[in-house]
């Protein structure tokens, strides 16, 4: 990577993470050097991460799109032809104070149009189910309250899902991403030896001539049927990296890290082992962590020092065997046990 303005950095043979402004740092990456990318942008107007003027969450309206638009064009430049970049987002609630009305904003659509305007192809999207009861307890949103249904349901509405929207750089992909799935990431799918034996038994009951697929094929098809679903209802919502330690004294609330299941599905689908995965908004390190854990190389940029320090701590967990690593639900359980 060419020299760029960075305050702190960790570079080793598995990952390179830099503390600084992604819009500066990305200029140091060579053209067509990234195989896959994934990130959650700051959701415009929803939550301010810091008071730095380079923090994209501090821009609103046209300024936000100008700032983010610059990054979107740079992402296109550094990505290889025919390869992909995934963006995690949600539709945004509007508020009476900020927007003048209670309703929703099509943030996902705005993202799609910004990527298309920069020259990306809109490739795919998946909706990720979110529990409305948990959302109501967290956000206290009127639109989800049962009390509102009883009083006047004209203001009631469904919970807001998450989405992964994925874009492809025009041109032919020169290195195929080949191979079958040999594991399942998520909950509730049996791809064990016993599951395979049951598939063979049930098939033969139906038709004595039944020719089962070999086990590796059966497993891969089942996994793909789940991943190909337009709605993912089988993501482990609390499987995230630890984030509580990242809060600094001015923060109003915790960062929401992206679930590792979501990242890992995308990394597995759209990159091969040994390839390079980029996230311009590293946060507490989730995307780089999963990429490295899955045998890819990770690159990440993060502006906020307390998040960057937490990303370093989270990435150090990769040096431990998987069964000894700490995740956010372990930290919560320990906190509850200490109380």
The binding site for ligand SAM (CB under 6 A) comprises 21-23, 40, 42, 49-50, 54-57, 255, 257-258, 281, 283-284, 286-287, 301-304, 307
Cβ distance to ligand SAM smaller for residue 125 or 173: 125
Count of CB atoms within 10 A of residue 75's CB? 24
Q: Which is nearer to ligand SAM, 142 or 294 (CB)?
A: 294
Closest to 48 (Cα-Cα) out of 248, 244, 237, 245: 248
Q: How far is the CB of 46 from ligand SAM (least distance, A)?
A: 10
User: In the complex, what is the shortest distance from the CB of residue 205 to ligand SAM, in angstroms, rounded to a whole number?
Assistant: 46
Question: Token pair for residue 294?
Answer: 């899955």
Query: Rounded distance, CA 65 to CA 143, Å?
Result: 28
Closest approach of ligand SAM to the CB of residue 240, in Å: 7
Exposed, middle or buried by CB within 10 Å (0-12, 13-18, 19+), for 300? buried
Min dist CB 56 to ligand SAM, Å, is 4
Cβ nearer to ligand SAM, comparing 220 with 261: 261
Distance of CA 265 to the CA centre of its chain: 10
Q: CB 242 → ligand SAM: shortest distance, Å?
A: 10
- H-assigned helices in 178-214: 193-206
Indicate the residue among 85 and 304 with the shorter CB distance to ligand SAM: 304
DSSP annotation of 41: -
C-beta closer to ligand SAM: residue 45 or 283: 283
Whether residue 122 contacts residue 167, with contact meaning beta carbons closer than 8 Å, is answered with yes
In this chain, which residue has its C-beta nearest to ligand SAM? 283
User: In this complex, which beta carbon is closest to ligand SAM, that of residue 71 or of residue 223?
Assistant: 71
Q: Cβ of residue 260: shortest distance to ligand SAM, in angstroms?
A: 9
Structure tokens at 171: 């041109």
User: How are beta strands 92-94 and 15-19 bridged, if at all?
Assistant: unpaired
């Amino acid at each position: 990577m060419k020299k760029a303005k960075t305050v702190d950095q960790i570079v080793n043979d598995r990952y390179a993470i830099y503390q600084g402004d992604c819009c500066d740092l990305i200029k140091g990456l060579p053209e067509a050097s990234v195989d896959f990318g994934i990130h959650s942008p700051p959701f415009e107007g929803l939550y301010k991460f810091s008071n730095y003027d380079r923090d994209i969450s501090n821009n609103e309206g046209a300024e936000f799109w100008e700032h983010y638009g610059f990054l979107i064009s740079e992402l296109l430049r550094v990505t290889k032809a025919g390869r992909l970049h995934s963006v995690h987002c949600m539709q945004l609630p509007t508020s009476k104070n900020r927007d003048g009305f209670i309703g929703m904003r099509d943030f996902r659509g705005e993202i799609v149009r910004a990527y298309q305007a920069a020259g990306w192809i809109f490739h795919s999207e998946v909706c990720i189910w979110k529990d409305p009861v948990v959302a109501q307890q967290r956000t206290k949103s009127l639109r989800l309250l049962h009390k509102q249904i009883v009083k006047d349901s004209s203001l009631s509405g469904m919970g807001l899902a998450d989405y992964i929207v994925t874009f492809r750089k025009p041109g032919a992909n020169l290195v195929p991403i080949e191979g079958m799935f040999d594991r399942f990431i998520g909950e509730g799918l049996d791809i064990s030896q016993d599951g395979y034996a049951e598939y063979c038994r049930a098939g033969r009951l139906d038709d004595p001539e039944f020719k089962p697929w070999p086990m590796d094929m059966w497993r891969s098809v089942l996994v793909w049927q789940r991943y190909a679903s337009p709605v993912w209802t089988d993501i482990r919502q609390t499987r995230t990296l630890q984030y509580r330690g990242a809060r600094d004294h001015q923060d109003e609330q915790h960062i929401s890290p992206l679930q590792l299941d979501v990242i890992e599905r995308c990394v597995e689908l759209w990159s091969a082992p040994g390839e390079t995965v980029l996230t311009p908004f590293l946060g507490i390190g989730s995307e780089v962590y999963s990429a490295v854990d899955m045998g890819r190389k990770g690159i990440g940029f993060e502006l906020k020092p307390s998040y960057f320090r937490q990303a370093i701590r989270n990435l150090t967990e990769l040096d431990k065997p998987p069964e000894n690593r700490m995740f956010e639900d372990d930290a919560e359980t320990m906190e509850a046990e200490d109380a």
